[in-house]
Amino acid sequence: MKEGKPKKEQSGRTVFGPMAMIKIDGARARHLRESQGLTQLYIATAVGVTTDTISRWENGRYSNIKRDNGVRLAEALEVSLEEILLVEKEQAEDGAGEKAGTASSASSSDTDKDAACTQEKTAEESVPAEGDNAEQEGSFRRSYRSETAKSFFSSCFSFIGSVQQKSSRKILLAAAVLLSLFLFSLLFRHEMPQKITALRISPAAALPNQRIPIIIKVDTRQENESVAVILREKIEEGQSRVESKNISPPPAQLPSSSLAEIKWLVQLKGRKSFTYILQTPKKRGEKIAFSGTISSQGESGQEIDGSRTLVIGRYHWADENQDGIIDDREIILVYDRFSKVQGFTEEIDAVEQIWLGSGYRWDKQTEKLTIIPQDKKQGKGGL
């Protein structure tokens, strides 16, 4: 069996390897994306893959994907992971086969019947209920620990059933030993902390000498207690400039002229957005590269996912599909994503003026953006 693929035990449970694979329902994912007015480019940026990959997932060409990518896809679509998984007939057939095997072995002996019933019950309990989808997605290691406990109890009962014809003293002794070992393992096994995540959201392109918003969304996966977090963001382009006064929340270290790097040291609970405004270079054709890490107790230097590059050209930062028009869907995305960015109100208003017109044009000689009036061009893009 190849590493990373889930394997099925005789009890019907699925155990994920270090690189777990899942099967998603591409048609369902496409329906959720289109119903929210999201583009493949936006989803690809959020997951950290290409638009071609998103297209193959939705068309069903690649239905088996990494579980980490599936989790990020579900977060981008704002649904639980279970809602985009593909339900296979094989699971139902496996369950029916186990029940048939239990029924056929019932006539062998009372001892075998008890053991088989116990195994069947364990297998059924290992299938997660509909109401537990969110918990299964956010805490995989915790569910694996629960499966290990159920497997242990199943082994205990099977062993006890196999020695029922021996003296009662030996049965009780064996049960006491096994139960003691299990309780000992629970006492000294510490629960693994859940993995903290960070996702960068930025435009794919921008005009020269333009102010653009950058957002980093952090999820500590801890709703009940605060976690100390170090967030580092580095901009790999000397001609771009970060506006120090518009960094939110206030950083522990401000970027300098020689080092465009922002450092935050904060206590977080749950989710929080970190924002800053970047002044793009004056020359077209430049490319800005982003890199960064997030660290917490037990997790050092985890890379920030999401957008990694931005190209300076002739398209406005809010023109996501780069067609020279700010349509209804794009103006809604601008308000949803960037309206709360500190110090960015004037830029939001300017995008609205382009939306009210028929489009825009960049004059490379004057290096200015011109809004095309509504009466010069009929029709606008829509949702």
Question: What's 300's domain CATH number?
Answer: 2.60.40.740
Residues 337 and 297 in one domain: no
Q: What does pTM read for this prediction?
A: 0.50
What is the model's pLDDT at position 258?
54
Domain presence at residue 92 = no
Tell which of 281, 313, 345 closes a domain. Answer: 313
Q: Please give the Cα distance from 170 to 151 (Å, whole number).
A: 22
Residues 213 and 298 in one domain: yes
Residues 228 and 309 in one domain: yes
Domain presence at residue 150 = yes
Q: Can you give the CATH number for the domain in which 73 is found?
A: 1.10.260.40
What is the model's pLDDT at position 341?
93
Residues 151 and 133 in one domain: yes
Tell which of 69, 84, 99 closes a domain. Answer: 84
What is the model's pLDDT at position 7?
46
Residues 295 and 210 in one domain: yes
Domain presence at residue 96 = no
Residues 287 and 337 in one domain: no
Domain presence at residue 382 = yes
Q: Please give the Cα distance from 173 to 170 (Å, whole number).
A: 5
**Among residues 262, 265, 278, which one has the least CA distance to residue 228?**
265
Q: Please give the Cα distance from 234 to 236 (Å, whole number).
A: 6
What is the model's pLDDT at position 354?
93
Residues 200 and 304 in one domain: yes
What is the model's pLDDT at position 5?
44
Domain presence at residue 1 = no
Which domain, by its residues, includes 366?
Answer: 323-383
Tell which of 313, 335, 364 closes a domain. Answer: 313
β-partners of residue 268 are: 227
Q: Please give the Cα distance from 148 to 127 (Å, whole number).
A: 13
Residues 258 and 364 in one domain: no
Q: Please give the Cα distance from 334 to 270 (Å, whole number).
A: 24
Domain presence at residue 380 = yes
In the block, which residue shows the tokens 């509504």? 374
Residues 11 and 77 in one domain: yes
Q: How many domains does the chain have?
A: 4
Q: Please give the Cα distance from 44 to 73 (Å, whole number).
A: 9
The list of the chain residues with pLDDT below 70 reads 1-19, 88-169, 184-194, 237-239, 257-259, 375-383
Residues 224 and 278 in one domain: yes
